[in-house]
């Protein structure tokens, strides 16, 4: 089974260089995981992705706190949902095939994260500009 490559594009830039770099790294890790046919290496990449999501959300939430973003609580809740889904995937991955894991990563990064950046992160980008 093949999956479309997950790529960050400039259309996803929100204007904070550090956050944009982190978003790029998340897409890169996901693309690496999805395209890897080696189970051990793919699982290692999934672990790296899971850890990096934690780092990224923590940094982003810290930034939103610093700029006094009024929707921080709601934004955090969305991150919580994603953190929970990824943690569940990581916990269940041992009993899944590589294709199943890759499909879930694709859903999480290609669909969820892309939408999140384009819609929800874009909302706080307006505050960054102020
Ligand atoms: Fe976010």
Q: How far is CA 80 from CA 16, 102, 119, in A?
A: 22, 21, 17
Neighbours of ion ligand 1 (CB under 5 A): 121
Give the model's confidence band at 76: pLDDT under 50 very low, under 70 low, under 90 confident, else very high: very high
What percent of the chain shows pLDDT beyond 70? 96
Q: How far apart are CA 117 and CA 79, in angstroms?
A: 11
Can you tell me the mean pLDDT for 75-79?
Answer: 98
Judge whether 126 and 67 are in contact, CB under 8 Å: no
Domain residue extents for the chain: 16-129
Residue-level pLDDT at 129: 76
With the CA atoms of 30, 4, 42 and 1 taken in that order, what torsion angle do they form, in degrees rounded to the nearest 10?
160
Residue 119 C-alpha to ligand 1 middle, in angstroms? 9
Residue 48 C-alpha to ligand 1 middle, in angstroms? 19
Q: How far apart are CA 47 and CA 42, in angstroms?
A: 9
Residues 6+ apart with CB under 8 A from 46: 33, 89, 90, 93, 101, 105
Render pLDDT for 19-70 as a digit per residue (tens, 0 to 9): 999 999 999 999 999 999 999 999 999 999 999 999 999 999 999 999 999 9
Whether pLDDT at 3 is above 60 = no
Q: How far apart are CA 65 and CA 130, in angstroms?
A: 15
Residue 109 C-alpha to ligand 1 middle, in angstroms? 12
| Average pLDDT of the chain, as a whole number | 93
Homologous superfamily of the 16-129 domain (CATH): Hemerythrin-like (1.20.120.50)
Residue 121 C-alpha to ligand 1 middle, in angstroms? 5
Continuous H helices in the chain: 17-35, 39-66, 72-92, 98-105, 114-115, 122-129
Give the model's confidence band at 7: pLDDT under 50 very low, under 70 low, under 90 confident, else very high: confident
């Amino acid at each position: 089974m093949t999956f479309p490559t997950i790529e960050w594009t400039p259309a996803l830039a929100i204007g904070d260089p550090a956050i944009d770099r982190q978003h790029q790294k998340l897409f890169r890790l996901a693309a690496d995981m999805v395209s890897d046919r080696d189970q051990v290496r793919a699982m290692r990449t999934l672990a790296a992705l899971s850890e990096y999501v934690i780092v990224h959300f923590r940094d982003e939430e810290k930034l939103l706190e610093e700029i006094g973003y009024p929707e921080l609580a709601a934004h955090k809740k969305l991150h919580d949902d994603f953190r929970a889904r990824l943690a569940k995937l990581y916990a269940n991955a041992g009993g899944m095939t590589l294709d199943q894991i890759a499909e879930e990563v694709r859903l999480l990064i290609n669909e969820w994260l892309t939408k999140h950046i384009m819609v929800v992160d874009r909302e706080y980008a307006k505050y960054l500009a102020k």
